[in-house]
Chains A and B, each alone.
Chain A
């Protein structure tokens, strides 16, 4: 079963009720009853509950208690006073189910993102629970790993016949597994309870800011009405017969993406090599690329491929072994962090790594005040930036009162106020629901239109396709592609090397028998963005005008 809903909808709270953190760890008033296996358990203690419901949390790093894989898996057994002999046997058994039997003595910190999640899963399965609860299992994984994770959950469900509850807003990815029912929550209430096929025929998703599967959206744009008979929950089984013509009619080649104006490059990397002090092998090998002024580029690749390291090098947080970094044609390789920061701003993934003041205004003013700028100018610049970022009404609020997305905005504002020419954003939309995602990205587009060059590090394929005409792909420390986003997302070799995921739009286009599936993908992206920017009717209208 899938629980779906935008941020702040109450889906995580619902999860806490199910796993017993409410009322055991988070206090509050609970009314109503919760029954598990027919028994009323509303006020059951958390230990008894943990025998019934196993929870896998979102952040794979934070949830390890043990140091080695085996030890972490055994944690619940240890607390149950199981004998060592029994533990060893059970750990072996469970680790086999998640394909981690060969890593029992490895340290959990050396594992890849996907492996970490397997260990976390094994750690709750070890208790032989009746219900497995996953809280946003896909949030921190690269696309291919996310796909594997969903398949693994699906397999575990089939093999152990356990009830699975997944809390997630990335609907399309979850639907890759077999889902019986979906509950959509919003504003603390259940909006609908339906089978996936039923749900996709409604407009509930759109109304509640949950992203529909892209292929479904494309079908809707093409004017097809989705019916349950079409089996819309899986692209593989989708019955397209009635729609094929409509798709073909809707499709017309959209103008090819405007090739980035190759004006004077603002930032150039030449043959960058980098090795971490603690590592033996090179993290980055011979990386070269150049970014033009005013461009908006994605850097994508699998977890641990070296994307973040690359951004650290650009900001001078680390020094390359060899190679040069040029800005406006001038060698800046040897500049310090502080010098570099005046022209290149970096927004880190976790806003909590950056925020150090109590009030929003002070946080944004921080950098300017350090530079010793007169308070009057500080006020002026901060207020201007806060307006751009839509934070002006909150300027005298404490930061703790903000949501995660708003905090992210504060960190962007605190960098933007320094007026950098290049802005690097590490996973700008991680953990955001569709509405906030759109808001943040549209905001970044606005900044880009103001002339700021934007580099985004991401493994969100939607983001790459929709917002950045160009993508640089890093795999195992090497640059393996530097092309338009559409070409990257449809190149099977690049996709498999960099742990990306092909887009369902491409598959849909192939399935519909279109001759130019790539152009179909591009057409969808352009159309979809316009719809979101101006509303459906405006776009339909404009298309009609240009048709006639």
Chain B
């Protein structure tokens, strides 16, 4: 298994954008996706995100694990919405088209399905791009771009280092896991859940200690090499904005404005096919 959520080096137009551009684009993209419930906009953005994914040359299987994890939570989320607010859709769209009669107020309505479809779409719009942002942005460029949009460089660097250590920690985890399995612990489904949780603890304890050790070394190194000496710092990998960055930002700005115009045109965040 490859390391998940770590930077994947590729040559693609997406990789070529500066970290700051990608960060700003991502912020605009998610703003648009969060504000709108307009199905047309969401469908368009979903299709666009597939295209962007294609352009980035990142393969689905490289992110499949995280994707599946998120889809699982999405499913849970959907179930929860239905359990707690089964008539939310009817309330929003003002009509009630029951397609299945269930006890209590759990009647399954077309409106509810449509509402939850919109929510699911929102996830589908934001998640692939969020993943894409993380795996196509070199962590130190990520730090420099956070810094460029006004976040203190200490915090930026802390975030970048955390991102950078994701693969290292995963490698440690694997090494420890095999070492513990060799001593007889079973992490497979054959074992009872309670025992498995207890067994997992025997992996996490060493993992935590190892990570502390790592942090100790790296913080000493950073001290020794003058990190935190001045209020500001410069960036070796700094890349000035180029034409393509402005194009990307422009496109996203247009997207944001257009999506908001379409969404709020009728004075309501929801696109209503039922009226």
Interface residues of A (CB under 8 A from B): 19-21, 24-25, 46-47, 50-51, 54-55, 57, 59, 62-63, 65-68, 70-71, 74-84, 87-88, 91, 107, 123-124, 127, 277-278, 312, 315, 317, 337-338, 340-341, 345-346, 348, 350, 352-357, 366-367, 370-371, 414-415, 418
Contacts and interface: CB of A to CB of B under 8 A. Distances in A.
Nearest to A46: B223
Given A81-B233, A352-B210, A366-B202, A75 B225 contact: yes
Chain B facing A: main interface SS: helix
B228 interface: yes
8 contacts: A47-B229, A68-B237, A91-B236, A124-B225, A337-B178, A341-B184, A366-B202, A415-B183
A366 B225 contact: no
Contacts of B181: 337-338, 341
B227 interface: yes
Given A354-B206, A355-B206, A418-B183, A71 B226 contact: no
A10 to B, nearest CB: 18
A126 to B, nearest CB: 9
A337 B206 CA distance: 20
A456 to B, nearest CB: 17
B233 A356 contact: no
B232 interface: yes
B75 to A, nearest CB: 29
B175 interface: yes
Contacts of B178: 312, 315, 317, 337
A310 B214 CA distance: 27
A346 B181 CA distance: 11
A491 to B, nearest CB: 33
10 closest A-B pairs by beta carbon, nearest first, are A74-B236, A62-B217, A79-B226, A341-B182, A47-B229, A356-B202, A367-B183, A370-B184, A317-B178, A76-B225
Nearest to A349: B175
B140 A57 contact: no
B42 to A, nearest CB: 35
A79 B227 CA distance: 5
Contacts of B2: 277-278
B206 A71 contact: no
Given A66-B140, A337-B178, A356-B203, A55 B224 contact: yes
A65 to B, nearest CB: 6
Contacts of B225: 50, 65, 75-76, 79, 123-124, 127
B206 A352 contact: yes
B182 A84 contact: no
B68 interface: no
Contacts of B202: 356-357, 366
A356 B180 contact: yes
Contacts of B236: 66, 70-71, 74-75, 77-78, 84, 87-88, 91
Contacts of B140: 66-67, 71
B223 A341 contact: no
B54 interface: no
Given A62-B218, A63-B218, A356-B205, A71 B229 contact: no
A435 B221 CA distance: 30
Contacts of B184: 338, 341, 367, 370-371, 418
Contacts of A418: 183-184
B274 interface: no
Given A63-B221, A65-B218, A79-B226, A352 B213 contact: yes
A88 B234 CA distance: 12
B48 interface: no
A81 B230 contact: yes
Which of B224, B233, B237: most chain A Cβ within 10 A?
A: B224
B58 to A, nearest CB: 15
Contacts of B217: 57, 59, 62-63
B64 interface: no
B229 A79 contact: yes
A57 B221 contact: yes
Interface string B181-221: 11111100000000000000111011001100110011111
Nearest to B221: A63
Given A21-B224, A352-B213, A353-B175, A87 B183 contact: no
Given A71-B140, A337-B178, A348-B175, A84 B235 contact: yes
B227 A338 contact: no
B233 A317 contact: no
Contact of A67 (B1, B138, B210, B230): B138
A62 B222 CA distance: 11
Contact of B210 (A75, A337, A353, A414): A353
Contacts of A337: 178, 181-182
B238 interface: yes
Which of B185, B209, B219, B236: most chain A Cβ within 10 A?
A: B236
